[in-house]
Structures are given as structure tokens and as C-alpha cells.
Structure 1
Amino acid sequence: MTRSAITTHVLDTAEGHPARDVPVLLELRTSEGWRELATGRTDEDGRCTALGPERVEAGRYRLTFDTTAYYGDRAHFFPEVTVTFAITDPQQHHHVPLLLSPFALSTYRGS
């Protein structure tokens, strides 16, 4: 299997390890609204590399992470995290990591 055009990696910075089994939703913004492209879960290394198509078009995309499913009964502030981003060069690979803790988060354009 080849790698998806859009991938992610979730790291639990409070615990110091990958965030395993986090549900992830990938969507594309269309003229009718958001359209689901794929769903997945992070693997043992916190990565989701088989998420969506191998090629995408230019446009606005979003990844939604179900952090409540990850944290369960543990205290946390963000029930879900949505990261919206724009793809202007569909020839490039787009990696969107999420650094997560119960009360803070950070993301960036990865490689």
C-alpha cells in the first residue's frame, strides 16, 4: 500500500508517548459543505498513514481527532480537536502532526 497524500501523527506530550488508537476524520471543503474523505485510527506509533487518497486536489481540508475516545474517563479540556488547513500544491505530501496533552495542544506542517 502506498502512503496517503495527507498523514498525521499524534503524540501525547503529557505522558511522553505516541497517542495510540485515536479516531481521525479527514474531510474536504466543497461548495456544498464538508465532505468526508476517510476515517482511521492512529497505530501503535501514533501515526495514521493510510488516511484517504494517494492524491488530493488543491483546497481546504480538515482533520478531526476524537480526543474523548482517547482520554476516556481521564480529565481533559478538548473533547475533539479540529485542524483546518489549505493545500495549494497537491503534488506535495502533507503531514499534520498533533502534539496533545489534556489541557493544551499544538500542531504544525510536518514533513
Structure 2
Amino acid sequence: MTVHVRITDTSFGVPAADVDVLLSRRVEDGWQEVLRGRTDPEGVLVMPPPADTQSGSALYRIECDLDTYYAVLGVVPLIARLTVEVRVEPDARLSLPLAFSAHSVLAYRGG
């Protein structure tokens, strides 16, 4: 499983660079952190498959820290953390474009 996240800041019409992104997997007693990273200047973060990928589909949570992103820009966002939970097959390559402003969020499955 590879997760390809592309984030766009629709407030300014630009890629959202330097956004902290956390990928977690649902486990029996909560959530287990899998990977953490930051988007590049194009707003992209490719998360390679975790070493301990399980068989069967799994529920993953992607969290983006919008508070810190907007603090650098001097903006206080309504939405502090963008959180999306998606079901992923172990051999899938998930492309997940995310578009946000300080007051709205859009997530969809990319091609």
C-alpha cells in the first residue's frame, strides 16, 4: 500500500507546502502511528508501504496540521486539523487529493 497525498490551499490557490501529515492504522485498541512526514513545495507527500503491512483491507487515518500551517501565514483557521479516514487494500496505490482553506475542506479519491 502506498498513499500519495496532494494538498492544495484554496485560500491562496497554491500547493500547501510544509504541512505536517500523520498516517495511522486502525488497530484493535485504537490507532497506531505508521508514518509521519511533511509535504514538499508542490504540496505532495508520498507515504511508502509500512514494513508490517497486514493482509486484507485496513482503515487508515490521515491527519494534516492546519493550525501550524496557517500560523506561519498569520491566519487562525476554523479547521485546526484535517482528518480523513479511508479504507485501503494492502496492494493498493491510493491517490488522495485534499483541498482546504481556513474554513473548508474537500477530500476525494484521485486517479
> Given the two structures, how large is their TM-score scaled by the length of structure 2?
0.87
Q: Give me the identity figure in percent.
A: 32
Q: 2:27 — aligned with what?
A: 30
Shift of 1:76: 1.2
Any unmatched runs of 5+ in structure 1?
A: none
Equivalent-residue separation in structure 1 for 2:96 and 2:48 (angstroms): 13
Counterparts of residues 33-48 of structure 1 (less than 5 Å): 33-48=30-45
Aligned residues: 106
Kept after mapping to 1: 8 A contact 2:67/2:76: no
Q: 1:16 — aligned with what?
A: 13
> Given the two structures, how large is their TM-score scaled by the length of structure 1?
0.87
Letter in 2 for 1:99: A
Letter in 2 for 1:103: H
Aligned-pair Cα RMSD in Å: 1.6
Q: 2:87 — aligned with what?
A: 86
Equivalent-residue separation in structure 2 for 1:67 and 1:75 (angstroms): 9
Kept after mapping to 2: 8 A contact 1:10/1:18: yes
Any unmatched runs of 5+ in structure 2?
A: none
Equivalent-residue separation in structure 1 for 2:97 and 2:86 (angstroms): 12
